[in-house]
Amino acid sequence: MSKDEKRHVPAATVPRLTLYLRKLRELQARGVERVSSQELAAMIDLNAAQIRKDLSYFGGFGTRGVGYEVSRLIAEITRSLGLDRDWNVIIVGAGLLGTALARYRGFAEQGFRVVGVFDSSPTVIGASFGVGRVRAVEDLEAFCVQEQVDIALVTVPAAEAQSTVDRLARAGVRAVVNFAPVKVTAPSGVTVRPVDLSSELMVLTYRLVGGEGQGPRP
Amino acid sequence: MSKDEKRHVPAATVPRLTLYLRKLRELQARGVERVSSQELAAMIDLNAAQIRKDLSYFGGFGTRGVGYEVSRLIAEITRSLGLDRDWNVIIVGAGLLGTALARYRGFAEQGFRVVGVFDSSPTVIGASFGVGRVRAVEDLEAFCVQEQVDIALVTVPAAEAQSTVDRLARAGVRAVVNFAPVKVTAPSGVTVRPVDLSSELMVLTYRLVGGEGQGPRP
């Protein structure tokens, strides 16, 4: 359907691509030029067949017995994830989490530029967040259009999350990460990704209760 | 190997279980009693065969044409993830992110009790974080032993992350979530889960560049 050479990686594969990318960059930093699916599997805690299947979307440059070329695989995944360009990010909700995200260094390293932080509270508007000042939420729509905002991180209270996403959608923002602990809906063409930090802890408790073949806690 | 009835769900499946659990709880809240793998697939953006495989570890109570019993599946996943009990959590690093996590309501809802927050800075030690005061990192080991800390969230600067994890491991903490933007290692028996908030954004940029069959940004 697409005219460009975009491969259609299934949505469920994408979070794993970010894991591969992280690991491949570590390998590259250590001077490793080739890696096999078995080696990746051992490092990432996935099975090798799954990795081969996931990476098959990037063409047949994994060679049996030789492995994948690290630099080429990094380039392919980077392009596929859209990380070969910068993205304009705003944060709506300048509470503790919003402020922490505004200063999170990992974003800039990946090309995610925090270009604005918004809040509705007069006591917060105008406060510095490191690379700028908190803006009034009244200016949200105009800012999003003018600055071509790509992604919004929503860290408002639960009661304000849906109306915030509605405003963002009307302003043409097509990607939202929802940190508010409530389900929100968005019109077609706008992707909302809910983030539940508890999920990170659940993966650990699963292991603590013995899911990884380790014994129970003494 | 295990004497209890624990099923051995593969590690890669566990993050998906947290997605299923979230969705199943939403369905239960709406009074839905049964759900098919196809319905779950449409809601979660995974294919139905993957869901059936993942849920097969919980026994054969998904019946063709009838679907899964929502309440029973919730109970099984909850038990498997170790969410049928409370867990003691500490946060090491009382910066913006650490403080935000200390106040994050989603943790308590899942049984993750933040019992302590630690920092090395004299200007931060003693400050209130909502449900207590920031403790000196010198007291870390004694506290972990005495309070039976299960999980530590590490939000210290990158340069301090490895030494922090070393201390936690010596203090008997077996699960660490590392928010610091650096790779750390831990002795056998201690699980470290790196969290890279950029990964959440990468899933969105993948869609923005057309990975979901949507057109490119105009």
Mean pLDDT of B6-12: 67
- The better pLDDT of the pair B62, B205 is held by B205
A134 touches chain B (CB under 8 A): no
What integer pLDDT is reported at residue A214 of this predicted model?
A: 39
Q: Which helix (H) or strand (E) holds A79?
A: helix A70-80
Instruction: Tell whether A205 is covered by a domain.
Output: no
Question: Closest to A14 (Cβ–Cβ): which among B177, B211, B214?
Answer: B211
What confidence tier does B51 reach under pLDDT thresholds 50, 70, 90? Answer: confident
What integer pLDDT is reported at residue A207 of this predicted model?
A: 81
Mean pLDDT of B12-29: 87
Q: Which two tokens stand for residue B97?
A: 């992110």
Mean pLDDT of B105-112: 84
Instruction: Tell whether A100 is covered by a domain.
Output: yes
pLDDT at B60 over 70: no
Instruction: Tell whether B209 is covered by a domain.
Output: no
| Amino acid of residue B31 | G
pLDDT at A71 over 90: yes
Q: What is the mean pLDDT of chain A?
A: 85
Decide which of A57, A80, A103 is a domain's last residue: A80
| Amino acid of residue B91 | I
Q: Which two tokens stand for residue A152?
A: 């919004």
What integer pLDDT is reported at residue B146 of this predicted model?
A: 95
Q: Which two tokens stand for residue B120?
A: 């090395």
What integer pLDDT is reported at residue A170 of this predicted model?
A: 94
Query: A2 vs chain B: nearest CA distance in angstroms?
Result: 8
Mean pLDDT of A130-150: 92
What integer pLDDT is reported at residue B196 of this predicted model?
A: 78
List the end-to-end C-alpha distance of chain B, in Å, as a whole number. 56
For residues A104 and A171, membership in a common domain is answered with yes
Tell me if A154 sits within 8 A of A161, measured CB to CB.
Answer: yes
What integer pLDDT is reported at residue B5 of this predicted model?
A: 44
Question: Closest to A106 (Cβ–Cβ): which among B106, B151, B197?
Answer: B197
pLDDT at A6 over 80: no
For residues A97 and A187, membership in a common domain is answered with yes
What confidence tier does B166 reach under pLDDT thresholds 50, 70, 90? Answer: very high
What integer pLDDT is reported at residue B143 of this predicted model?
A: 96
Phi-psi region of B168 (alpha: psi -120 to 50; beta: other; left: phi over 0): alpha
Mean pLDDT of B41-68: 78
How many A/B residue pairs have CB atoms within 8 Å? 222
Rounded to the nearest 10°, the torsion over CA B97, B103, B109, B114 is 80
B109 touches chain A (CB under 8 A): yes
For residues A76 and A93, membership in a common domain is answered with no
Least confident of A98-102, A198-202, A209-213, B152-156: A209-213
CB–CB contact B96 A95 (8 Å): no
What integer pLDDT is reported at residue B7 of this predicted model?
A: 56
Whole-angstrom Cα Rg for chain B: 20
pLDDT at B45 over 70: no
Query: C-alpha distances in angstroms, A49 versus A54, A57, A78, A216, B202?
Result: 9, 13, 22, 30, 24
Residues on chain A touching B22 (C-beta within 8 angstroms): 194, 196, 199
Residues on chain B touching A184 (C-beta within 8 angstroms): none
CB–CB contact B6 A87 (8 Å): no
For residues A189 and A91, membership in a common domain is answered with yes
For residues B95 and B152, membership in a common domain is answered with yes
B43 touches chain A (CB under 8 A): no
- The better pLDDT of the pair B191, B218 is held by B191
B76 touches chain A (CB under 8 A): no
For residues B51 and B150, membership in a common domain is answered with no
Instruction: Tell whether B215 is covered by a domain.
Output: no
For residues B16 and B98, membership in a common domain is answered with no
Q: What is the mean pLDDT of chain B?
A: 85
Mean pLDDT of A43-58: 82
What confidence tier does B198 reach under pLDDT thresholds 50, 70, 90? Answer: confident
Structural domain count, chain B: 2
Tell me which range, A194-208, B123-137, B148-162, B193-207, is most confidently predicted by mean pLDDT: B148-162
Q: For residue A56, give the CATH number of its domain.
A: 1.10.10.10
Give ∠ CA B166-A104-B207 in degrees, rounded to 5: 115
Instruction: Tell whether A17 is covered by a domain.
Output: yes
What integer pLDDT is reported at residue B176 of this predicted model?
A: 95
What integer pLDDT is reported at residue A61 of this predicted model?
A: 56
Residue A34, φ and ψ in degrees, nearest 5: -135, 150
What integer pLDDT is reported at residue A11 of this predicted model?
A: 72
Domain range enclosing B57: 11-80
Query: B64 vs chain A: nearest CA distance in angstroms?
Result: 24
A161 touches chain B (CB under 8 A): no
Query: C-alpha distances in angstroms, B180 versus A12, A120, B140?
Result: 26, 30, 18
For residues A186 and A91, membership in a common domain is answered with yes
Residues on chain A touching B161 (C-beta within 8 angstroms): none
Mean pLDDT of B61-79: 84
What integer pLDDT is reported at residue B3 of this predicted model?
A: 38
Instruction: Tell whether A216 is covered by a domain.
Output: no
Mean pLDDT of B162-189: 91
Mind listing the pLDDT tens digit for each residue in B119-133? Answer: 999 999 999 877 789
pLDDT at A78 over 70: yes
| DSSP code per residue over B23-67 | HHHHHHHTT--EE-HHHHHHHHTS-HHHHHHHHHTT-S--BTTTB
What confidence tier does B100 reach under pLDDT thresholds 50, 70, 90? Answer: confident
Decide which of B80, B95, B119 is a domain's last residue: B80
- The better pLDDT of the pair A13, A112 is held by A112
CA B25/CA B31 separation, integer angstroms: 10
What integer pLDDT is reported at residue B59 of this predicted model?
A: 64
Question: What is the DSSP pairing of strand A68-69 with strand B34-35?
Answer: unpaired
Q: Which two tokens stand for residue A27?
A: 């390998």
Tell me if A206 sits within 8 A of B80, measured CB to CB.
Answer: yes
Tell me if B7 sits within 8 A of B57, measured CB to CB.
Answer: yes
What integer pLDDT is reported at residue A216 of this predicted model?
A: 34
Question: What is the DSSP pairing of strand A135-136 with strand A151-154?
Answer: unpaired
For residues A58 and A131, membership in a common domain is answered with no
DSSP A116: E
Mean pLDDT of B49-60: 81
Tell me which range, A157-161, A211-215, B128-132, B163-167, is most confidently predicted by mean pLDDT: B163-167
pLDDT at B174 over 80: yes
Beta bridge partners of A178: A154, A194
Mind listing the pLDDT tens digit for each residue in B124-165? Answer: 999 987 778 999 999 999 999 999 999 999 999 888 999 999
For residues B24 and B92, membership in a common domain is answered with no
Is the ipTM above a cut-off of 0.90?
A: no
What integer pLDDT is reported at residue A215 of this predicted model?
A: 35
For residues B191 and B110, membership in a common domain is answered with yes
For residues B91 and B192, membership in a common domain is answered with yes
Q: For residue A169, give the CATH number of its domain.
A: 3.40.50.720
Instruction: Tell whether A148 is covered by a domain.
Output: yes
Instruction: Tell whether B4 is covered by a domain.
Output: no
| Amino acid of residue B95 | G
B130 touches chain A (CB under 8 A): no
